[in-house]
């Protein structure tokens, strides 16, 4: 998805009705959606251009950033700390693989998330393949 499509999707999570997921689920708080939007905008400024977002039943917001067969995911909880996954989902031929987890960490501050996004950009070949 593009930046604008992902922005609209994240904004819509604030308007979800209570019970939106089979009787469970709460809308995202404005602050939680705002943290995901901030990361989205910063990722776009760093040159990333393929995104998606997903609501959590607990009001969390997950932002996925895709590049070169890798996926950088950050799930913002209600306290706006982030859980990060870096996974490989395609091989060099573009064949779908079982997700291979390269990194997992919980309770990251926004500054730590940005550091890991910069490392992702460098370590997984983004700088070399743009």
How far is Cα 72 from Cα 39, in angstroms, rounded to an integer? 11
For the chain, give the percent of residues with pLDDT over 90.
52
- Please give the residue range of the domain that contains residue 73: 3-129
The number of domains in the chain is 1
pLDDT above 90 (res 44): yes
CB atoms within 10 A of CB 60: 21
The pLDDT-based confidence of 91 (bands split at 50, 70, 90) is: low
The more confidently predicted of residues 88 and 47 is 47
As a whole number of angstroms, the distance between CA 49 and CA 60 comes to: 22
Q: Given pLDDT bands bounded at 50, 70 and 90, which one contains residue 34?
A: very high
């Amino acid at each position: 998805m593009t930046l604008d499509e992902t922005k609209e999707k994240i904004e819509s999570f604030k308007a979800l009705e209570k019970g939106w997921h089979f009787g469970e689920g709460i809308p995202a708080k404005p602050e939680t959606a705002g943290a995901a939007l901030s990361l989205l905008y910063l990722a776009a400024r760093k040159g990333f251009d393929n995104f998606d977002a997903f609501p959590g039943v607990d009001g969390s917001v997950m932002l996925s950033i895709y590049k070169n067969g890798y996926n950088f995911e950050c799930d913002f909880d209600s306290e706006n700390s982030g859980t990060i996954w870096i996974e490989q989902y395609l091989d060099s031929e573009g064949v779908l693989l079982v997700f291979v987890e390269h990194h997992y960490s919980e309770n990251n501050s926004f500054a730590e998330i940005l550091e890991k996004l910069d490392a992702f950009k460098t370590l997984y070949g983004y700088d070399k393949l743009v």
